[in-house]
Amino acid sequence: MILEPLFLEPVFKERIWGGKALKDNFGYSINSNITGECWAISGHPHGQSVVKNGVYKGWTIEKLWKERRGLFGNPTGEVFPLLVKILDANKDLSVQVHPDDAYAMYNENGELGKTECWYIIDCKEDAKIVYGHRAQTKAELMKMIEEKRWESLLNYVPIKPGDFYFVPSGTVHALCEGTLVLEVQQSSDTTYRVYDYEREDENGALRELHLNKAIDVINVPFKQVDNKHEQQRHEDSIKTTFVESEYFTVHKWSVKESYSHTKEEPFLLCSVIGGEGKLLIEEEIFPIKKGDHFILPDYIENITLKGELEIIVSHL
């Protein structure tokens, strides 16, 4: 058996707030100038990644999960649990919140909840995000929303490239204009909009809000999350661990010349966000570059990376 990663074809989504950064920054072949999302590693029915190499060429992640669960170490669960995206916030995203598993299961036809995290790939000089709120009780939250006191309610946080934010379900949040982000999340497409700047959709109607459900799930008061991270140096390369949560763990591998890794996890999701080089698996060599996304399945234990590379790596 040839030991090979599963290279994936991303799915692109147009959004009212999207732009050209996915095309300009990553070189993806996209015609649209309002592409907001690259669903890079996805088994969600709203956007399926497809394997583009090897014996499983043409298979979706959903099909692999159902029929070749051993590739992932035979974990439990009805659906592939994680989703990796790259988001181009050319304009402000809506202020939103996501439900947890229990609420989504009951109210969204069995969908998973959505805890997520952001790695800031790039952003304009004065970029910011909405991260949390200032209301101390549900009653105060409802009153501030009703009175549209957004500047008083929302926490605006300045950001810079290389920052990382963990966004648990129930957290009010929004990416703001001029931000390019890699997002790792539970495999869910459930979003409750709280505020959308009175924007209209393509039909001229105000975009739908979901205030009742949003107020149900928003955590009050907001609890600040510790977004500090841990670094391990391996000769000329650095492994940074950003978060270890019940849903996912996320690292960054910063490779200067060479980095070797013995995989202890059943599978790894890998997104190359910078540079180019080679992935070596025993005698096999696979060229990789910025914009590539691949899965290292259970049967691969040892890898070596050569070149200058930045890779975001996630796993259960």
- Residue 78 neighbours by CB under 8 Å, 6+ apart: none
Query: Is 233 one of the annotated active-site residues of the chain?
Result: no
Task: Report which of 29, 170, 28 is spatially closest to residue 104, judged by C-alpha positions.
Answer: 170
Write down the H helix ranges in the chain. 21-26, 61-67, 101-107, 138-146, 150-153, 211-217
Tokens 């691949």, residue?
294
Tokens 């952003």 — which residue? 123
Q: DSSP label at 262?
A: E
Judge contact between 295 and 268, C-beta under 8 A.
yes
Between the alpha carbon of residue 168 and those of residues 103, 115, 246, 290, 309, the distances in Å are 14, 4, 11, 28, 29
Alpha-carbon span 186 to 102, nearest angstrom: 13
69, 149, 193, 199: which is the annotated catalytic residue? 193
**Could you give the residue numbers annotated as active site?**
193
